[in-house]
Amino acid sequence: MSTGAASPAELAVRFEAEAALVADRAAFEQLRLAWTGRKKGILRAMLAGMKEVAPQNRREYGQAVHQLKVAVEGGLEALGERLSAQEKADARQAATLDVTLPGRRPRLGSLHPVTVVNRDIEAIFAEMGYSVAEGPEVENDYHNFEALNFPRDHPARDTQDTFFVEGGALLRTHTSPVQIRTMLARAEPPIRIICPGRVYRNDNDLRHSPMFHQIEGLAIGEGLTVGDLKGTLETFIQRLFSADTGVRLRPSFFPFTEPSAEVDITCPFCAGSGESLDGGEPCGVCSATGWMEILGSGMVDPRVLAECGIDPEIYTGFAFGLGVDRVAMIRYGIPNIRMLFDNDERLLRQVQS
């Protein structure tokens, strides 16, 4: 910085003016360097200027520069202390707690719709004397198909539906193999189990996802009939949905049950009328039929019982398989099964559990 032709006294005034403008540490450092810098500082330049002063004036000049030096150094020290005090005060201010602020409540998680439905179903069947059984998701052909009486060339074994695992294993395509494992493991009926779990099929659209959830049910005992099957399913469905839900059995076919039935319930969105409740429009949820299919069922085929070492002459039984995702979609009005597996918090948050 140049001193120009300013006298030490003028420079002292200039220093005061510049110091008065300093508001923060960076400006302070700039000021300090400009005045006391070893190479280019103004004080340094003033001392160097001694050479130019006529010898008889040097003493006076030297004293004036010394006074300037004292003034500048003193001024810098005072300014530095003021800044430090200010910085400490700022830091204290920033760290001050406002004890009147309301606390931030941690948001509690909620259960996944499939978990909620699973638990509800397990609770209903627990009251009816059923226990929960589980089995492996990586299965073999015997438990998933053969023991369930699927003929060797049955289309469900097709690579279209089944994910095969290297080495001959497969991802179970339904929870029915848990029936087989349970019967093989337990010596004597009565048996009453439900088997919740993940199942896998090579399928992917709005209603199908390659992984989905089923609950299998199995009851084996002496003298069980289609009437027991129907009564059990009606009780279950009316507890799961509502007491006025209609239930109908439609004849169907499954290799492991005879006779077999698909079970429909009255559409909860149009109360079975086929028309939307507000405007008389055709109900879009059940395609105006008034009914929705929610499970498959039947009387356990005697061949399956015999395969598992249970005498079909003494015992009969019924079984059913329910799509849990489908129930969750119906209950929460979820239009696309993939929404269940996207982990979008908005979907998860709306489920009260």
320 touches ligand DAH (CB under 6 A):
yes
| 42 contact partners, CB below 8 Å, separation of at least 6 | 1, 3, 11, 34, 35, 72
| Residue 75 or 260 with smaller CB distance to ligand DAH | 260
| 263 contact partners, CB below 8 Å, separation of at least 6 | 233, 237, 247, 248, 249, 250, 293, 294, 295, 296, 297, 320
Site string for ligand DAH, 265-304 (x = CB under 6 A): -------------------------------xxx------
User: Of 28, 61, 212, 254, which lies in the binding site for ligand DAH, with binding defined by CB under 6 A?
Assistant: 254
CB-based closest residue to ligand DAH: 321
Site string for ligand DAH, 139-178 (x = CB under 6 A): -----------------------------------x-x--
Instruction: Give the rounded distance of the alpha carbon of 220 from its chain centre.
Output: 39
Tell me how far apart the alpha carbons of residues 37 and 145 are, in angstroms, rounded to a whole number. 90
Instruction: Give the rounded distance of the alpha carbon of 164 from its chain centre.
Output: 29
| Residue 161 or 342 with smaller CB distance to ligand DAH | 161
213 touches ligand DAH (CB under 6 A):
no
Q: Give the residues across from 90 on adjacent strands.
A: none
User: Of 170, 197, 216, 264, which lies in the binding site for ligand DAH, with binding defined by CB under 6 A?
Assistant: 216
319 touches ligand DAH (CB under 6 A):
yes
Give me the least distance between CB of 318 and ligand DAH, in Å please: 7
Segment holding 261, helix H or strand E: strand 257-266
User: Of 264, 321, 325, 330, which lies in the binding site for ligand DAH, with binding defined by CB under 6 A?
Assistant: 321
The separation between the first and the last C-alpha atoms of the chain, rounded to the nearest angstrom, is: 74
Helix axes 8-21, 58-95, angle to 10 degrees: 10
Q: Which segment (67-75, 130-138, 316-324, 341-349) binds ligand DAH by CB under 6 A?
A: 316-324
**Cβ–Cβ under 8 Å, residues 340 and 332:** no
Instruction: Give the rounded distance of the alpha carbon of 87 from its chain centre.
Output: 44
Site string for ligand DAH, 34-63 (x = CB under 6 A): ------------------------------
Give me the least distance between CB of 153 and ligand DAH, in Å please: 18
Interface contacts to ligand DAH, rule CB under 6 A = 174, 176, 216, 254, 257, 296-298, 319-321
